[in-house]
Every structure is written in structure tokens, then in C-alpha cells.
């Protein structure tokens, strides 16, 4: 199913100069974007595919990517930041995606829609009704000790009507949640517009100071009991929010407070996915 690239290019961004590229099928839009970045593609290059044959998720997982109903997109960035700041960018992207899903959700539901319907499961999954609707994979290319490029890959379940048995309790789509068929071009345009703003605000300070309030307001883990799945040892606590570095502040049962760095760690709610 071909997407209407003109509809996507009509997005109103003031900071990034987007150049959108589309293929019906690709191994992974992240791999494609990384290849283009290595060949010199400028910041703002966006790769989009209808289907991916080797979609990749966080922590080495597979991202199921059949064609016809979802969004698979990757952005090439060239931020002048230190490598250790790049993990914050992934949270800024999560916020942008969550804002976009929230906008779309609110537009397509009629009454009594809460202001914050889409939420963020730290660090950057977007959830609706407690189920995942969007995931983000950020990858970085280095040149000497410096960042040559960052690729932010975003996968959004837009019009999927059903999920395999192993995912149906944890995954959802915008269409399932709103009861409406959603234009993928509109989703992509909204993500690009929100990302333009969040990226600019992130670069202003080089951390999440400008985005902290918005992020914490959307954080589904906030004030909830969670398990921190740290490869060095799992533990529990109550998440209070993120700090300016994007670390999750967790009050442990023993009275200590830890700041969890995203890297190899993920969290889950004690009663299920969130
Ligand atoms: C996650 O595990 O939650 C991250 C999923 C990221 C999937 C997107 S789809 C577009 C881009 N291309 C990929 O191969 N992965 C990302």
C-alpha cells in the first residue's frame, strides 16, 4: 500500500528540514537510515516503509512489521552533543511520539476524552489503555569519540485489527482504541511536528529540563510500584518520575532512592505490562 508522501511533506516544522523517503518494503528503516547517514545524508532525512522484513526492537528483540497498516519510520539526526547525552534524546523522541498518539487519539474519539490518554512507559514506549501502541529504537554512529549520527526509529501500531496471542494482552493500535481507521500519513506528520519541537527544546539545554514536566505528566509508571529488570539484579520500588538526565527515580522498599539509567534496563508494573 503506497503512502502519500506529499501529505507527509506538508508537515509544518520550523527547526528540522525534513526530507522524507519511502519504500514499499525494506529490511529495517533504521538500517536504511544508518546506511544513508554513513553516506552523508543530512539531519532531517526520514526513511519510511510500508513493511519491514527485519524490523528490530529494543534489547535485541524483533519488531513484527507486516505491511498495510502500521508506521515504520526512522529519522537521521546529527546533534552536537556528547555520546552520553544521546540516551536523553530517546526519551525526547518518546515524548514526541506520545504527544502525537495523544493528539490523534483525542481527535478520533468523541466525548469525555481525558487530556492525557496516551502515556509513556519509561523510557520510551507509548501506551494506550495500558497497552503498547508505539516503540522506539535509537541507534548511534560514532566518528572517533564523537557522535557522527543518531537514528531514531519509531514503530506505531496504527490500523492493526488484531495481535498474535503472545502480544494481545500487551499490544494495541490506534484503530482498536479509537474505533476508527486512522490515516498513517496524518500519524507520521503529527510525529514529525511534535519531534521538531521536542528536539529543539532538548538541544537548547542538552538535557530534558525543558521537557521534564510534560514527560512526567505522561509517565504511566509515576507513583506506581514497578520491578526494575536490571541484568545485574532485579528489584522493586515505586517510580516517582524522571530527572533531567532521563533517569527513572525509584524509591526502594529499604528506604533508599535510586536513579535508574535506561541502557540495558527495562521496567514492568507488578500487576502486568505497566
Ligand atoms: C521497541 O522494542 O519497543 C522498539 C521498536 C522500534 C521499532 C521501529 S519500527 C521503525 C524502526 N525500524 C526498526 O527496525 N525498528 C524501528
190-241 confidence digits (pLDDT tens): 999 999 999 999 999 999 999 999 999 999 999 999 999 888 889 999 999 9
Tens-level pLDDT at each residue, the chain (274 residues): 678 888 888 788 889 999 999 999 999 999 999 999 999 999 999 999 999 999 999 888 999 999 999 999 999 999 999 999 999 999 999 999 999 999 999 999 977 678 889 999 999 999 999 999 999 999 999 999 999 999 999 999 999 999 999 999 999 999 999 999 999 999 999 999 999 999 999 999 999 999 999 999 999 999 999 999 888 889 999 999 999 999 999 999 899 999 998 877 788 886 677 7
Compute the distance between CA of residue 20 and CA of residue 46 in angstroms, rounded to an integer: 5
Using most ligand atoms within 8 A of CB, pick from 30, 124, 265 the residue to mutate for ligand 1.
Answer: 30
**Cβ 34 under 6 angstroms from ligand 1:** no
Q: For the chain, how many residues are written?
A: 274
Nearest CA residue ID for atom 2, ligand 1:
57
- Ligand 1 pocket, mutate which of 55, 171, 268 (most atoms under 8 A from CB): 55
pTM surpassing 0.75?
yes
Cα distance between residue 98 and residue 86, in whole Å:
19
Q: Is 94 in the pocket of ligand 1 (CB under 6 A)?
A: no
- How far are the Cα atoms of 80, 93, 98, 203, 205 from residue 215, in angstroms, in the given order? 23, 11, 9, 16, 16
Number of H helices, E strands in the chain: 6, 12
Q: Is 135 near ligand 1, meaning CB less than 6 Å away?
A: yes
Amino acid at each position: 500500500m503506497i503512502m502519500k508522501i506529499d501529505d507527509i511533506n506538508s508537515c509544518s516544522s520550523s527547526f528540522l528540514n525534513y526530507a522524507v523517503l519511502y519504500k514499499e518494503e525494506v529490511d529495517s528503516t533504521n538500517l536504511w537510515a544508518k546506511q544513508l547517514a554513513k553516506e552523508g545524508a543530512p539531519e532531517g532525512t526520514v526513511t519510511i516503509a510500508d513493511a519491514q522484513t527485519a524490523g528490530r526492537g529494543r534489547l535485541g528483540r524483533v519488531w513484527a512489521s507486516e505491511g498495510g497498516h502500521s508506521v515504520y519510520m526512522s529519522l537521521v539526526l546529527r546533534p552536537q552533543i556528547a555520546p552520553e547525552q544521546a540516551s536523553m534524546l530517546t526519551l525526547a523522541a518518546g515524548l514526541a511520539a506520545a504527544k502525537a498518539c495523544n493528539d490523534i487519539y483525542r481527535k478520533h474519539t468523541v466525548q469525555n476524552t481525558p487530556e492525557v490518554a496516551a502515556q509513556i512507559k519509561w523510557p520510551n514506549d507509548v501506551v494506550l489503555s495500558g497497552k503498547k501502541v508505539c516503540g522506539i529504537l535509537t541507534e548511534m554512529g560514532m566518528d572517533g569519540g564523537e557522535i557522527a549520527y543518531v537514528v531514531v526509529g519509531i514503530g506505531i501500531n496504527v490500523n492493526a485489527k488484531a495481535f498474535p496471542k503472545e502480544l494481545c494482552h500487551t499490544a494495541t493500535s490506534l484503530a482498536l482504541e479509537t474505533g476508527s481507521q486512522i490515516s498513517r500519513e496524518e500519524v507520521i506528520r503529527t510525529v514529525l511536528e511534535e519531534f521538531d519541537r521536542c528536539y529543539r527544546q532538548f538541544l537548547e539545554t542538552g538535557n530534558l529540563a525543558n521537557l521534564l514536566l510534560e514527560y512526567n505528566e505522561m509517565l504511566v509508571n509515576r507513583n506506581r510500584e514497578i520491578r526494575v529488570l536490571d541484568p545485574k539484579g532485579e528489584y522493586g520500588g515505586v517510580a516517582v518520575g524522571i530527572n533531567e538526565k532521563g533517569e527513572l527515580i525509584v524509591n526502594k522498599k529499604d528506604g533508599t532512592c535510586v536513579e535508574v539509567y535506561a541502557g540495558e534496563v527495562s521496567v514492568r508494573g507488578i500487576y502486568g505490562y505497566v
